[in-house]
Structure 1
Amino acid sequence: MTSPLSGQVPDGPASKPLAVAMIGYAFMGKAHSAAWRTVGSHFDVPPVARRVVVGRDAERTAEAAARYGWEESATDWRDVINRDDVDIVDICTPGYLHAEIAIEALKAGKHVLVEKPLANTIAESTEMVATAQEARTHGVQSMVGFNYRRVPALAHARNLIAEGRLGAIRQLRVAYLQDWLVDSESPMTWRLRKETAGSGALGDIASHALDQVQFLTGEEISEVSGRLRTFVAERPGPDGPEPVTVDDAAWITAELSGGAVATVEVSRVATGVKNGLRIEVFGERGALRFDLENLNELWFMEATGPETEQGFRRILVTEPEHPYLEAWWPQGHIIGWEHTFTHQLRDFLTSIRTGEQPQPSFEAGLQIQRVLAAVEESAAAKSAVVQVGSAAHAHQ
């Protein structure tokens, strides 16, 4: 395999822009489009050209291209990834399409960003990792899009933990709750079919929660026990009632490689919670609290002073010294959810410039896929504990 980008290190306004093709234009496509539009205005990154957006419906794809500021639209992703005027492929499709597109794009010498989860199965994820590793030897980069790593408050929390401010981490509690499927009459979508989504709340939002457990602590999840539940068994489809073949909610207990224990609860039927990713980290000398619905705030407690002075204090994460914030507004001027995608592209483009492996890598995405598979195995067998990466579910 040869890469048209081998040895190319764009740097500065005179450099030829890296041309981007985005596959998919719906929810994630809209978020990624906004990030591609703004990243160069706020960060020192290689210049980019929003070359082409790809979708199945020609008319709707053309409308999306015009609305989101792409130069053109197309309906055949295979033709697009083989074009000489495309350098980066950004995959925003449902999970069942990730592997085929990513593998072909990497083989064509294109840098690849793919939305989480990496794929729907361990087999697909493993093939993606092997292809990414080969492409890396030719200077072609790849990354999986866990955008919550780019929330400044969570990046700051990781730094505090890495600096030892909390001491040894003992336990974490993570709840990622949403309510967009509370109504049993909500219509069927691809996210509720196993063949297209892989799993339900587990792959959709537990993947984020589990990635945060590993990102914040710097440790890997080694074993899990889990339970899954589908509360609404069928939903209105285009041709009548259709069975829901994925979970609505999941409960997970996980042990980390360093000995800490994490409990993770996720749901898409939690009435009254719109997008609540709530994280608590408890160490021997301190603790942290975070809520995505107040994403500019981090609550921090140090238990090293007198008991009469201990308590959580609010950190407003808007200072230029906080992660990613040097590019935005004066202190106290908050940022929002969409900024995480801009930060993600900053890191991705910077890695392309430097030739360093961007994080999270496809290998990190595969690790999360193994954790998800272990949870599914534990839930199916009603087993207390399943080892992550065990042979029992390696075929999935």
Structure 2
Amino acid sequence: MTTQRLRVGMVGHAFMGAAHSQAWRTVDHVFDLPARVHMAALCGRDPKRAATAAERLGWAESTADWRELIARDDIDLIDICTPGDSHAEIAVAALAAGKHVLCEKPLANSVAEARAMCRAADRARESGVRAMCGFTYRRVPALALLRRLVADGRLGRIRHVRAVYLQDWIVDPRFPLVWRLRREHAGSGALGDIGSHIVDLAQHLTGDRLSGVAALSETFVPTRLLPGAVPAARGEVTVDDATVFLGRFHGGALATFEATRFATGRKNALRIEINGSLGSAAFDLERLNELEFLDAAQPPAEQGFRRILVTEPDHPYLSAWWPPGHGLGYEHAFTHQARDLVTAIAEGRDPEPSFADALEVQLVLDAVQRSAEHDAAWTPLPARTAENTGPGPGPKPTDRGQ
């Protein structure tokens, strides 16, 4: 290991900030990295809360001004863990200042913002500055193994993808109107927050892109109590509570997606299954260290889904962790994300998923929203060209059944 350091500044210190902090604290104590991580400074809007969070999470100091953080010459990378409405402004400014950027998903609140971020990343790349979007579930070892199986042809020609992400944290109509329920802050509701994960996984795992979608969405509780309002007052929920949609991949595979925060009893139930001509595989986040795999090359009398316990040292990421059979947790995927980012920066190559990869997800989210606004009209996705990073509106919905 060299004595080179990667000095990180993080903006935001709530749920994702805590998860990212855990990763930065841990990564170079687990993996042999080409650079040591220095947690230089944390930024939060409230100075006292930011200072408290910095001490608790392991940051050397704190600030209440992200512009000040970006201007510092002792910061190499800006980690953005804020609500979506600030992603574009912070990321574009950081890249222009020569800082590497890690930005939480979804990349932005709109296609226009995501395109602007991609253009900023393209300009920064010419100076060796790197940008990555935090679709962390790619780094779950079982999902990384699934990606390997598909890439190696073990599933054959992909025919079906079915993906769901089910939560229930706002089932109670008395739950307050937090920022995630307002379009101006979150961009969308269940669709962008958790649906973006399964869209990214579906495209990443198959190595294919969606060519079109047809969607329905619903807001089950249209108004909620305003936090801290005296007397009690209600405000409008301006995002979806649930979205379901169909999709078709360029390669011909069919797909179904469901993202909801109203699946009573489901806390964080992400499941994705891929069926191919030579086999099938399925993953369930609530069984984090397992992958179900069926090899259709076996004799029919011996076929059946088998459980792979993904804890072997030759499974993705696991050579650095515990002996076989000792499972990992949710937080480990963030450590793997930090490891991959630090390594890519040190080696002078683009990390994945890039901002361009995240734009592909943003285009799907946009098409889903427009389809839902037109009663599930079939809505094609634009072809992947350099024009996708430029300005201009996306395609309009077409007649259903195209």
- Give the TM-score, by structure 1 length: 0.95
Aligned to 1:71: 60
Aligned to 1:333: 326
1:377 to 363, 370, 378: 370
Q: Which moved more, 1:125-134 or 1:378-387?
A: 378-387
Asked if the contact 1:165/1:286 (under 8 Å) is kept, the reply is: yes
Per-residue CA distance 1:254-287 (angstroms, 9 max, x = gap): 1111111110011011100000001111001110
Q: Does 1:224 align with 2:216?
A: no
1:38 to 26, 29, 32: 26
Q: Does 1:88 align with 2:77?
A: yes
Give, in whole Å, the separation in 2 of the partners of 1:89 and 1:295. Answer: 29
Aligned to 1:308: 301
Q: 3-state SS of the aligned residue for 2:353?
A: coil
Asked if the contact 1:150/1:344 (under 8 Å) is kept, the reply is: yes
2:121 to 106, 111, 132: 132
Give, in whole Å, the separation in 2 of the partners of 1:71 and 1:285. Answer: 52
Aligned to 1:291: 284
Q: Does 1:212 align with 2:198?
A: no
Give, in whole Å, the separation in 1 of the partners of 2:393 and 2:31. Answer: 45
How many residues are paired up?
Answer: 383
Asked if the contact 1:225/1:385 (under 8 Å) is kept, the reply is: yes
One-letter code of the match for 2:198? A
Aligned to 1:109: 98
Give, in whole Å, the separation in 2 of the partners of 1:128 and 1:305. Answer: 47
Q: CA deviation at 1:222?
A: 1.1
After TM superposition, what 4+ stretches of structure 1 lie above 6 angstroms from structure 2? none
Q: CA deviation at 1:329?
A: 0.4
Asked if the contact 2:312/2:324 (under 8 Å) is kept, the reply is: yes
2:314 to 315, 321, 340: 321
Q: CA deviation at 1:389?
A: 3.0
Give, in whole Å, the separation in 1 of the partners of 2:395 and 2:31. Answer: 41
One-letter code of the match for 1:37? R
Q: Does 1:22 align with 2:22?
A: no
Q: 3-state SS of the aligned residue for 2:315?
A: coil
Aligned to 1:48: 37
Per-residue CA distance 1:89-135 (angstroms, 9 max, x = gap): 00000000000000000000000000000000111110100010010
Q: 3-state SS of the aligned residue for 1:48?
A: strand
Give, in whole Å, the separation in 2 of the partners of 1:44 and 1:219. Answer: 32
Q: Does 1:173 align with 2:162?
A: yes
2:345 to 352, 369, 372: 352
Give, in whole Å, the separation in 2 of the partners of 1:134 and 1:66. Answer: 35
Give, in whole Å, the separation in 2 of the partners of 1:133 and 1:394. Answer: 24
1:62 to 26, 31, 51: 51
Give, in whole Å, the separation in 2 of the partners of 1:113 and 1:201. Answer: 22
Aligned to 2:139: 150
Give, in whole Å, the separation in 1 of the partners of 2:266 and 2:314. Answer: 32
Give, in whole Å, the separation in 2 of the partners of 1:303 and 1:50. Answer: 48
Per-residue CA distance 1:154-179 (angstroms, 9 max, x = gap): 00001001111111000011110001
Q: CA deviation at 1:384?
A: 3.0
Q: 3-state SS of the aligned residue for 2:164?
A: strand
Q: For 1:230-249, list aligned pairs within 5 A.
A: 230-238=219-227, 239=229, 240-249=233-242
Unaligned runs of 5+ in 2: 384-391, 397-402
Per-residue CA distance 1:210-232 (angstroms, 9 max, x = gap): 00100110001111111111011
Q: 3-state SS of the aligned residue for 1:274?
A: coil
Q: Does 1:100 align with 2:89?
A: yes
Give, in whole Å, the separation in 1 of the partners of 2:370 and 2:394. Answer: 7
Give, in whole Å, the separation in 2 of the partners of 1:112 and 1:376. Answer: 28
Q: 3-state SS of the aligned residue for 1:223?
A: strand
Asked if the contact 1:371/1:389 (under 8 Å) is kept, the reply is: no
One-letter code of the match for 2:85? Y
One-letter code of the match for 1:184? P
Q: CA deviation at 1:203?
A: 0.4
Give, in whole Å, the separation in 2 of the partners of 1:78 and 1:392. Answer: 30
Q: 3-state SS of the aligned residue for 1:360?
A: coil
Aligned to 1:270: 263
Asked if the contact 1:122/1:366 (under 8 Å) is kept, the reply is: yes
Q: 3-state SS of the aligned residue for 2:330?
A: coil
Aligned to 2:387: none
Q: CA deviation at 1:394?
A: 6.2
One-letter code of the match for 1:189? V
Asked if the contact 1:374/1:389 (under 8 Å) is kept, the reply is: no
Q: 3-state SS of the aligned residue for 1:304?
A: coil
Asked if the contact 2:131/2:355 (under 8 Å) is kept, the reply is: yes
Q: Cα RMSD between the aligned structures?
A: 1.2
Per-residue CA distance 1:361-393 (angstroms, 9 max, x = gap): 000111111100000010001143101138764
Per-residue CA distance 1:138-193 (angstroms, 9 max, x = gap): 00000000000000000000100111111100001111000101111011110000
- Give the TM-score, by structure 2 length: 0.94
